[in-house]
Chains A and B, each alone.
Chain A
Amino acid sequence: MDSLHAIGFYVSAALAGLGGILLAFLHGHVRRGAALALTGLGLAGIYLSLSAGFAAIVVLICYAAAAAVLARPDYRTVEQVTGGLWRQVGAVGAALLLAVLAYAAFRGTFAHATFYGGAFGSVSVARLLFAHDALATEAVGGLVLLTLVGAAAAWRRERPREEREGRR
């Protein structure tokens, strides 16, 4: 991997991380949607620098759609009943997860191999999705379809607005 790809990878990784941090600390539907879109943009850049151009395009489309859904102004805000202590325990757990995963990555010894695939890889991925793993792809497609139909059915029911004070 040459320097240009390496710079692209690290800049994209920084963009994805920044988007995630903004997603954690920003308030408001539109801002959170924009932060998720930034994460998607960074992730697409990561995939592109890893010679996964087709995956990058799919990620751009999917994360832009997810960001548009999160940025909608009219969905209900549901608050957890979990106390602050448990949320802090969860945050510490996330830090422990980072430490464990980083240690595993640092200590791992991996075999290096030359990459023979192209920069885009759509043909190879399509062969996998529609020939080698066709049944699994259909299962995932069916699951996603059921999920979206269920979400649309749930969305049709209108709930009364709850009174809140500036907690969006």
Chain B
Amino acid sequence: MSVTLVGVLFVAAGLTALGAFIAAWKRELTAALGGLPVMFAGAGTAFAGVARFSAASGALLIGQEMAVLLAIAALAAVGLGVGLAGRESPR
């Protein structure tokens, strides 16, 4: 059993499409917002896979760097979305 770049890209495609499905399907905007981190997870997986399998010797790990930045961007997107949705006053 082994993992190839094609396998990693299949997983990345699945996560990206799943995130797009969540963003399109959910009726509540704050719930649809949860699709963004899943889409970013797919993109990050593709970047990390390319850094792992296709890097020539001595190449910089730019794919891993992008994966880190995408994770931070996902957190910021969720924070901004929930913040913009606003706090509900208690009953």
* Majority SS at the chain B contact face: helix
Which residues in B have their C-beta under 8 angstroms from that of A127?
60
Q: Is the CB of A101 within 8 A of B12?
A: yes
Contact of A105 among B9, B21, B22 (CB under 8 A): B9
How many of chain A's residues have a CB under 8 angstroms from any CB in B? 96
Which residues in A have their C-beta under 8 angstroms from that of B25?
24, 87, 90-91, 94
Q: Is the CB of A46 within 8 A of B54?
A: no
Binding site for A on B (CB under 8 A): 1-3, 5-35, 37-38, 41, 44-45, 48-49, 51-58, 60-62, 64-65, 67-69, 71-91
Q: Is the CB of A79 within 8 A of B48?
A: no
27 contacts between A and B (CB under 8 A): A3-B1, A6-B1, A7-B1, A9-B8, A20-B22, A20-B38, A24-B21, A50-B51, A52-B67, A54-B64, A55-B71, A59-B41, A62-B75, A63-B71, A75-B87, A90-B23, A91-B25, A98-B16, A110-B54, A121-B61, A124-B60, A125-B68, A128-B61, A143-B76, A147-B80, A154-B83, A156-B87
Which residues in A have their C-beta under 8 angstroms from that of B6?
105-106, 108, 110
